């Protein structure tokens, strides 16, 4: 189950109208410029520095692939653990605009996680240490530590744990 805070729409229009009242126009513009710049930067150190500048909690040795997209409205709700790899064109969202409500939830990614290319992680999701998310997956629920999850929506295919670079299965 995702951990989300729900905000019903007040007045006419959908939840996307008035986004600037929730987060601030100039803050979102700043976040957008930095995050879009990071999509193209090849330097991992520079990316991590800039991600921290917009409020993303980035651990040591994190590698974010080209074209990866972080939430521009609420980047401060994203945390990425040490030595994690986020693949090409992956998307991490901390908010959802719906017709009748707005949802906000933290995205917590553990250490030594691998998120495959073109994957999307929705708000309110936690991915445990050492988990692997297959390419093209939609992560809409928590993934336990050491698990392999893939698909749309992502389902845990194998529970396993890592010991030094040797993978040990749980026998299933």
Let me know if 95 is a catalytic residue. Answer: no
Catalytic residue (choose from 17, 77, 95, 100): 77
- Phi, psi (rounded to 5 degrees) for 162: -110, 140
What is the number of alpha carbons within 13 Å of residue 162 lying toward its C-beta? Answer: 16
* 3-class DSSP string for the chain: CCCCEEEECCCCCCCCCCHHHHHCHHHHHHHHHHHHHHHHCCCHHHHHHHHHHCCCEECCCCEECCCCEECCCCHHHEEECCCCEECCCCEECCEEECCCEEEECCEEECCCCEECCCCEECCCCEECCCCEECCCCEECCCECCCEEEECCCCEEEEEEEEECCEEEECCC
Residues with a known catalytic role: 77
């Amino acid at each position: 189950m995702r951990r989300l805070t729900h905000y019903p729409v007040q007045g006419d229009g959908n939840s996307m109208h008035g986004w600037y009242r929730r987060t601030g126009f100039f803050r979102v513009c700043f976040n957008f410029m930095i995050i879009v710049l990071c999509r193209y930067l090849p330097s991992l150190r520079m990316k991590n520095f800039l991600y921290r500048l917009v409020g993303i909690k980035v651990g040591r040795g994190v590698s974010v692939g080209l074209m990866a997209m972080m939430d521009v409205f609420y980047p401060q709700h994203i945390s990425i653990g040490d030595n994690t790899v986020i693949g090409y064109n992956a998307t991490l969202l901390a908010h959802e605009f719906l017709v009748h409500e707005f949802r906000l939830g933290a995205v917590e990614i553990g250490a030594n996680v691998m998120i495959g290319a073109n994957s999307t992680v929705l708000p309110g999701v936690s991915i445990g240490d050492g988990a692997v998310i297959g390419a093209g997956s939609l992560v809409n629920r928590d993934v336990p530590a050491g698990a392999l999850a893939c698909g749309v929506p992502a389902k845990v295919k194998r529970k396993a744990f890592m010991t030094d670079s040797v993978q040990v299965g749980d026998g299933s």
